[in-house]
């Protein structure tokens, strides 16, 4: 009678040991991915999250050059945001310049890049490789160099456009200064952005096009679909995630364009009518030493990008669920 009772605790203990080992093993397996990601997460936190947090904190302060010297901070809460939202310059100049320009730049980049991708799909392997190598030079060109090329093309004195228009008798010897008017200024910036960004879109969309099964196009041809119908009803739904990626990335890049505006004549602040959010934030921060107000502009731009990205992703996922 004593032996079975005496052995019960031992049996119970022996039964708990495997469960403890299993729990420990499962815990290690759960921690392993985070352990492997820890170095990268630390780098991201140091290089990205800390500056972002610092900018957010500055946006709640009245921080200028005197605060940099003294090291003291004057917290004013949402004062900078109230000042921005009540500033007519935000609604009349900065916001339209940023949003309208981004719409045309993103649309032009995606459309032109898609057309180039459709052309590349029809080429042979050697010709396709050659064309891709050539267009990637435009993407690899630094933004500073590309901007100065477009400034030279539209230069009021020696620009190619001025010479062609003067030869055609459309302008006089005085030429036209394309950089003083808001519309012509951003038309040049848009051309610059499309020229610099379409290679990425073309190569990415081409990769998606090559994954579309030929049977889908053959079935559409048998149904009498035109080229546009095949593209809209076969290609677009099949590679919709690819278009989502290039559209979101182009939107993020074009909303925060800086060099292509700042380096244009008048874009560094001499012509206030052509400033966008990125350049406006820079001028407020470093030209006027209003670091708190400049940080608030940067935070507003970041929030705009987050809202646009979330709305686009939600609509994309909703379409995927409905199919």
* Residue 238 to residues 173, 174, 230, 320, 321, Cα–Cα distance (Å): 53, 53, 11, 11, 14
Residues 140 and 205 in one domain: yes
Residues 33 and 88 in one domain: no
Residues 28 and 144 in one domain: no
Q: What is the pLDDT of residues 17-38, one digit of tens each?
A: 556 776 777 777 888 888 888 8
Cα separation, 13 vs 8, whole angstroms: 9
Across 90-109, b (16+ Cβ under 10 Å) vs e yields beebbbebbeebbebbbebb
Exposed/middle/buried for 61, CB within 10 Å: 0-12, 13-18, 19+?
A: buried
Q: Is pLDDT larger for residue 24 or for residue 4? A: 24
Residue 63 lies in a domain: no
Phi, psi of 75, rounded to the nearest 5 degrees? -80, 130
Band (pLDDT 50/70/90 cuts) for residue 3 is: low
Residues 139 and 27 in one domain: no
Residues 226 and 258 in one domain: yes
Band (pLDDT 50/70/90 cuts) for residue 296 is: very high
Residues 159 and 304 in one domain: yes
Residues 24 and 87 in one domain: no
* Residue of 284, 288, 277, 317 lying closest to 97 (CA atoms): 277
**pTM of the shown model:** 0.81
DSSP string, 82-103: HHHHT-HHIIIIIHHHHHHHHH
The whole-number pLDDT of residue 105 equals: 95
Q: Is pLDDT larger for residue 5 or for residue 319? A: 319
Residue 296 lies in a domain: yes
The whole-number pLDDT of residue 319 equals: 58
Residue 64 lies in a domain: no
* Number of CB atoms found within 10 A of residue 252's CB: 15
The whole-number pLDDT of residue 109 equals: 95
As for how many domains the chain has, the answer is 2
Residue 105 lies in a domain: yes
Residues 52 and 180 in one domain: no
Q: Is pLDDT larger for residue 15 or for residue 288? A: 288
Residues 24 and 102 in one domain: no
The whole-number pLDDT of residue 1 equals: 47
Say yes or no to pLDDT of 106 above 90: yes
Q: What is the pLDDT of residues 145-185, one digit of tens each?
A: 999 999 999 998 888 988 888 888 887 777 788 999 999 99
Residue 8 lies in a domain: no
Helices 95-122 and 182-209 pack at an angle, to 10 degrees, of: 40
Residue 69 lies in a domain: no
Look up residue 176 and give its two tokens.
């036209």
Q: Is pLDDT larger for residue 322 or for residue 233? A: 233
The whole-number pLDDT of residue 47 equals: 85
DSSP string, 238-253: HTHHHHHHHHHHHHHH
Residue 123 lies in a domain: yes
Report the chain's mean pLDDT, rounded to a whole number.
85
Q: What is the pLDDT of residues 245-256, one digit of tens each?
A: 899 889 988 998
Residues 50 and 142 in one domain: no
Residue-range definition of the domain harbouring residue 28: 16-58
Q: Kindly state the average pLDDT of the residues 223-249.
A: 88
Residues 52 and 84 in one domain: no
Residue 239 lies in a domain: yes
The whole-number pLDDT of residue 125 equals: 87
Residues 95 and 178 in one domain: yes
């Amino acid at each position: 009678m004593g032996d079975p009772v005496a052995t019960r605790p031992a049996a119970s203990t022996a039964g708990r040991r495997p469960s403890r080992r299993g729990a420990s093993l499962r815990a290690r397996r759960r921690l392993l991915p985070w352990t492997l990601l820890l170095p990268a997460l630390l780098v991201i936190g140091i290089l990205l999250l800390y500056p972002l947090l610092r900018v957010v904190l500055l946006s709640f302060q009245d921080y200028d050059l005197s605060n940099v010297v003294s090291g003291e901070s004057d917290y004013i809460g949402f004062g900078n945001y109230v000042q921005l939202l009540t500033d007519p310059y935000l609604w009349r100049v900065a916001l339209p310049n940023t949003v309208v320009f981004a719409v045309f730049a993103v649309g032009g980049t995606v459309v032109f890049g898609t057309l180039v991708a459709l052309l590349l799909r029809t080429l042979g392997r050697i010709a396709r490789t050659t064309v891709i190598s050539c267009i990637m030079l435009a993407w690899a060109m630094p933004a500073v160099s590309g901007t100065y090329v477009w400034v030279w093309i539209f230069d009021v004195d020696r620009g190619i456009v001025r010479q062609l228009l003067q030869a055609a008798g459309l302008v006089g010897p005085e030429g036209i200064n394309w950089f003083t008017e808001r519309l012509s200024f951003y038309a040049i910036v848009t051309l610059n952005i499309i020229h610099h960004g379409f290679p990425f879109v073309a190569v990415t969309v081409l990769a998606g096009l090559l994954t579309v099964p030929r049977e889908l196009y053959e079935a559409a041809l048998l149904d009498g679909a035109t080229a546009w119908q095949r593209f809209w009803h076969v290609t677009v739904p099949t590679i919709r995630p690819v278009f989502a990626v290039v559209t979101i990335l182009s939107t993020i890049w074009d909303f925060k364009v800086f060099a292509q505006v700042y380096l244009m004549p008048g874009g560094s602040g001499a012509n206030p009518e052509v400033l966008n959010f990125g350049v406006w934030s820079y001028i407020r921060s470093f030209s006027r030493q209003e670091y708190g107000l400049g940080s608030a502009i940067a935070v507003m731009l970041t929030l705009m990008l987050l809202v646009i990205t979330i709305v686009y992703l939600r609509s994309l996922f909703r379409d995927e669920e409905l199919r």
